[in-house]
Amino acid sequence: MVGLDAELNRDDECDNVGLSCALEHFSEVEDVMNIIDNLKNIYNSPKSEVEYDRLYNILKQYYEQPHLLDPYLDKILAKFLALIKDKESPCELKHATFNYMYQIIRVRGYKVVVRHLPHEVSDLLTVLTFLEAQDPNDKETWRSRFVLLLWLSIVVIIPFHMSRLDGFAPDQPGAAGSSKKLTVMERILNICKLYACSKDSCAEASAYLASKFLIRSDVKEVYMGAFFDWACALHSNLKEEDTIYYGVLAAVAAVLKHGKRNDLLPYAPKLLKWVTDQNYKQHSAMLVRKYGVKIVQRIGLTFLRPRVASWRYTRGSRSLAVTLGGVAAAGDTEPMTSPPDDDDEDIPQEVEDVVELLLCSLRDDDTVVRWSAAKGVGRIGARLPALAAADVCEIVLTLFAENERDTAWHGGCMALAELARRGLLSPRQLGAAARCVVRALARDEARAGGAGGRAARDSACHAAWAFARAYDAHALAPHALTLANALAATACFDREINCRRAASAAYQENVGRHGMFPHGIDVLTTADFQSVGPRTNAYLVVAPQIASYPEYTQPLIDHIVDLKIEHWDYAIRELAAKALNKLTDKIPEYVATVVLPKLIAKTESIDLNVRHGAILGIGEAILALSQAKLADGRKAGSAISEEVWRAVRELVGRLRARQQFRGLGGELMRQACCRCVALLSRAAAPLHAHPHVIGT
């Protein structure tokens, strides 16, 4: 019991962090300004490290609310850039400035910060010269190169042909004494190639630079194909021990994302063959698999023309006032229909290969790869004809097989969410998808590396949330009660706090969008984000309140008996038994006639967890029955059959005869039986008398 109390206390303590920690504005802006102003005085002294840590400690408070920095970004960056552009500033000061500047980018994100950097024509050669002067192998100055690459990515968007900048000064590459003159475009391309092969964060910044540079109208015709050829040649015929540069893959993926379809289409077959031949989905490095999936899905999008599928399900108006008013929303559309010429469009053979690769990646070991594959399935499905998209949905549903790993269930739920969000799941397929989601919500097994099924349950909540946003009440009506009970049980009884809160959010979305869940407003106000956080509160306070509504009573009890009583976690089994005690008075006859025989049968299991939970559940259920009454006024204990009483009286003897009080599980069995006997004593359970005397 000490271990249980400690576990419950830790669970309660970790849930006290909430929205009350939110900040209102960037209150330390003056301190940051003073740190920057003081940098030129301390950059070469030990105090520089102290100030750097101070800046880090200030900014790390805003990781969750980085937008609070936005009003001050221009002023902060202007101070940094003044130090960098000052010709009198020594190299050490510039590197220190880039280090400080990196902290701003780290918090706010480079895609936002880069828009605030200066991007005049005069800045191009300045930044390019800075970059060319850097040592790519210097591990101490990588932040300088990272910031310069990002800065160059905004400067290269200048709306002038870059050939106008090809003036060769004596101190620049390509000067008169050189063997070959390099144009500005060649110099930038060389920078992209150089840092795409780096093994630090500069690879990501280089990919972003390549995506902005290679899609320029004056660059793409000359260098885009050459860059793709270089990337393919670099990673062709690799041996097992050879290095794959994920930065090169990231650059190719970024160019495919930002480039125009007509420009990319000539290179798509070659790139797909390259990715397929290299078999990136089997590579051990997560980043390689991640960018491989991104390349594959964007090649698939290149083969298919952009369009809004006319056959997709569209919900139409989504007014909360309409939902609460109980009338159909204007513009809601029924099943997806395909225009006569929609399915006549030829689908390139390469698209089938792309879809197959993406579906395989839904089983990947890493969440980020599965998530990218799920988004790819949704994006490509939106450009397919109706019949082909329906086939993709059917294949996704096959991932929910009992012999599939948890990763496949997780990837399948995310793919269903993406397909539903885009209206690609037909109402006919929605039923099968909803059943798969309900099964995923109940998936919870012990694993050596952690709780099996946790990710699947979390993504199943996301899929249920997506169903609410995508479909109207008419489409969801046949599945509303099943989804409501599954989400309510997860919100009350899941082991993980993130799953309980995700289920609460999905339940709330369904109530707000279509209002089909029984007693929806009352349940969601009971099982809100805060109340389901502490596990003990969710089990022993929230669940009994929800069980007071008859639509939820039996499903909640069945969930406890079928799943949580035999849970692999000791603390969950004890809480589940206590929760059964709290819920028994709602339908005592069902507990006496159905639940107790089921628990008796579980005591015969060879699984220690099942036996332990069943014994605890028997004691808690009988204690609750001794205090409850049936609908006709009789004591609830009178509904317990003589056969059940005989099994309860003989329970300890049977366990002893099977020698289950010995061995590794013996202590747990003895503890459970002692607890059960104590509960039976409190219930005044008859050991030799007629069962009707219970509670007297």
Q: What is the model's pLDDT at position 345?
A: 62
First and final CA of the chain: distance in angstroms?
30
CB 369 within 8 A of CB 293: yes
* Model pTM score: 0.84
Spans of the chain, pLDDT less than 70:
1-21, 167-180, 237-242, 315-345, 447-452, 687-696
pLDDT in tens, 528-582: 999 999 999 999 999 999 999 999 999 999 999 999 999 999 999 999 999 999 9
Largest CA-CA distance found in the chain, in angstroms, rounded: 111
Q: How far is CA 144 from the centre of its chain?
A: 32
Residue with tokens 């012999």: 403
Q: Residue 635 forms beta bridges with which residues?
A: 629
The backbone torsions φ and ψ at residue 425, rounded to the nearest 5 degrees and listed phi first, read -85, 120
Q: What is the model's pLDDT at position 239?
A: 52
CB 213 within 8 A of CB 149: no
Q: List the Cα angle 202/206/208 in 5-degree steps.
A: 120
Q: How far is CA 308 from the centre of its chain?
A: 26
- How many residues in total does the chain contain? 696
DSSP 444-510: -EEETTEEETHHHHHHHHHHHHHHHHHS-HHHHGGGHHHHHHHHHHHHHH-SSHHHHHHHHHHHHHH
Q: What is the model's pLDDT at position 396?
A: 95
Q: What is the model's pLDDT at position 565?
A: 94
**Distance (Å, rounded) from C-alpha 592 to C-alpha 294?**
56
CB 527 within 8 A of CB 546: yes
Domains of the chain: which residue ranges?
569-696
Q: If we measure between CA atoms, which residue out of 240, 254, 257, 239 comes closest to residue 203? A: 254
Q: For 548-686, where are the alpha helices, taking DSSP H only? A: 550-559, 570-584, 588-590, 596-602, 608-627, 642-649, 651-657, 666-682
